[in-house]
């Protein structure tokens, strides 16, 4: 298959104008998103942008809710996929975190410790997301259960209360793990509360991951019988 070649500057400019018009953005509005003035946007659209200027291209793609690949002609996929949307949202949070960290936390050891805490929280949140996916699968199965539908109709049961119970049951453990971890950070040096040692704190993530593997294996075994 023939490999796609990147656009020239003029073609990039045309796509900038196309997408801006599609989103009903004025030049000043787009400029505000990028931190530039209207005349800069006019120049981008009229004279184009060199596709090799990745910082400008990436900024334009973000502001125009599209991809750098589409702007430069390497792809015809104009809209984000779910991975791209998640990546962009998280990159913003990471950028804000790094700015806060470097501006307010002094000393590399302290910065490293705080970053380690954040990494552990992200890992715990990933486990929580997996549990959430399992809970949604179970809720979908409950909603499609014909026998349950019949019972609901016969006894006037509220399907919402049933799915809520499923959700609460599945999410109780990962949410409790998150609470314990946050509580541990809060009272790391608090003798009178729930004092936690760092080793114990960091072991919480591995324990949460182990419990999820066991829960997944149990579900797979049940579905196989």
pLDDT reported for residue 30: 94
pLDDT reported for residue 200: 80
pLDDT reported for residue 148: 61
Q: Where are the alpha helices (DSSP H) in 105-197?
A: 108-143, 146-155, 159-186
Mean pLDDT by runs of 10 across the 225 residues of the chain is 76 96 93 93 96 93 90 86 75 88 93 92 93 88 69 56 84 92 82 69 88 83 65
DSSP letter for 5, please.
Answer: P
Q: How far apart are CA 171 and CA 5, in angstroms?
A: 48
* Structure tokens given for 113: 């410790």
136: Cβ contacts below 8 Å, ≥ 6 apart: none
> Which domains, from first to last, does the chain contain?
7-70 (1.10.260.40), 83-221 (no CATH)
Residue with tokens 């501006």: 103
152: Cβ contacts below 8 Å, ≥ 6 apart: 158, 159, 162
Q: How far apart are CA 121 and CA 110, in angstroms?
A: 17
pLDDT reported for residue 124: 93
């Amino acid at each position: 298959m023939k490999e796609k070649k990147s656009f020239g500057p003029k073609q990039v400019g045309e796509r900038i104008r196309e997408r801006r018009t599609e989103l009903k953005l004025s030049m000043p509005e787009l400029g505000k998103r990028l931190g530039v003035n209207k005349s800069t946007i006019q120049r981008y659209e009229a004279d184009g942008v060199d596709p090799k200027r990745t910082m400008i291209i990436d900024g334009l793609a973000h502001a125009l809710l599209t991809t750098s690949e589409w702007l430069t002609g390497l792809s015809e996929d104009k809209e984000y996929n779910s991975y791209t949307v998640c990546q962009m949202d998280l990159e913003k949070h990471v950028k804000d975190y790094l700015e806060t960290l470097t501006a307010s936390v002094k000393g590399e050891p302290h910065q490293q410790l705080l970053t380690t805490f954040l990494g552990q929280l992200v890992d715990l949140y990933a486990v929580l997301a997996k549990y959430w996916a399992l809970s949604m699968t179970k809720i979908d199965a409950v909603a499609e259960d014909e026998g349950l539908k019949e019972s609901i109709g016969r006894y006037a049961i509220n399907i919402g209360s049933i799915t809520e119970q499923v959700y609460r049951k599945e999410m109780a453990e990962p949410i409790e793990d998150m609470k314990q971890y946050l509580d541990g950070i809060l009272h790391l040096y608090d003798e009178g509360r729930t004092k936690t040692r760092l080793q114990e704190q960091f072991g919480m993530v591995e324990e949460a991951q182990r419990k999820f593997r066991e829960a997944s294996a149990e579900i797979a075994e049940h579905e196989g019988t």
